[in-house]
A and B are shown apart, each in its own frame.
Chain A
Amino acid sequence: MTGPVTGPPGPVTEPEWALGYAWDIVLRGRGATPFEPGRAAR
């Protein structure tokens, strides 16, 4: 994957409503997200 990895467009947590978590998925390269080898595990 090339190009910069960007985060979410703004604050994710919504006041009085829900906590927000940000998680980018990177397909390849040094910052690649680990993927499971086959089908979904537990």
Chain B
Amino acid sequence: MTDPERLRRGQTVRHDVLGDAFELRPYQRPRGVHPPLDSPAYRSSALRAPRQPLVLLPHRLTEITGPLLGEERVRPGDADLTAGQPGEPQGERIIVTGRVLDGDGRPVRASLVEIWQANAAGRYRHAADRHPAPLDPNFTGLGRCLTDDAGRYRFVTIKPGAYPWGNHPNAWRPAHIHFSLFGRSFTQRLVTQMYFPSDPLQPLDPIVGSVPGADARQRLVARFDIGLTQPEWALGYAWDIVLRGRGATPFEPGGAAR
């Protein structure tokens, strides 16, 4: 029997890799948390949703052991999207912080957290972005950091703007920040989006709407926190990312969405 067949039958697969024991446990996506692969209202999802059942690929030495970016390559300044340019970016300075937790509430340490986002005017620094809003020469919209021993990440950035995206007539994405998390190997990657509280565009957005259940959708919305807010400097938002369990953060099924 192959590894995928064992996993499909709910069996744990064990390997010995260069003297280290690895366990692959069967995993099924929980219902009612994560968006489906094909969400008709989110039109481009139809183009990438598989039409055949997924095939579980065996995880061997390469998939289990690497490659990873390497912790030594992440610098403290990488988490401040308002720095590292000749000047300050335009917009509302914010702090976004929270913890990465597993299903039992334990912190996930040394996870590479990457973010990307539009600028304050709702424009990405990307050749494909044709939205007639100004680019900001002092803002790339890219940041990364590693979670600390408490599973905590922290970014300083600019509140992103809403932007049109052509999914349907008069379609606008609510303000959001894209998040990617890596686990202990390159194949352990999760992608999701964080939203801001009280945004009237959220109920109109098919990407938000593809997440089943109001509770799960609410777990994508950060909480404004006056305690995190730094006086005379930046508003603070708190957002925890939960990998599994009843409070799991909804993750996108495949790669990054807009």
Contact = CB atoms under 8 A, between A and B. Distances in A.
Interface in A6-36: 11, 13, 15-17, 19
B133 to A, nearest CB: 9
Which size bracket describes the interface of B in this complex? under 10
B107 interface: no
A13 B172 contact: yes
- Looking at chain A's contact residues, is the secondary structure mostly helix, strand, loop, or mixed? loop
Interface string B165-188: 010011010000000000000000
Which size bracket describes the interface of A in this complex? under 10
A16 B131 contact: yes
B85 to A, nearest CB: 27
A13 B131 CA distance: 15
A17 B132 contact: yes
B72 to A, nearest CB: 43
Interface of A: 11, 13, 15-17, 19
Interface of B: 131-132, 162, 164, 166, 169-170, 172, 201
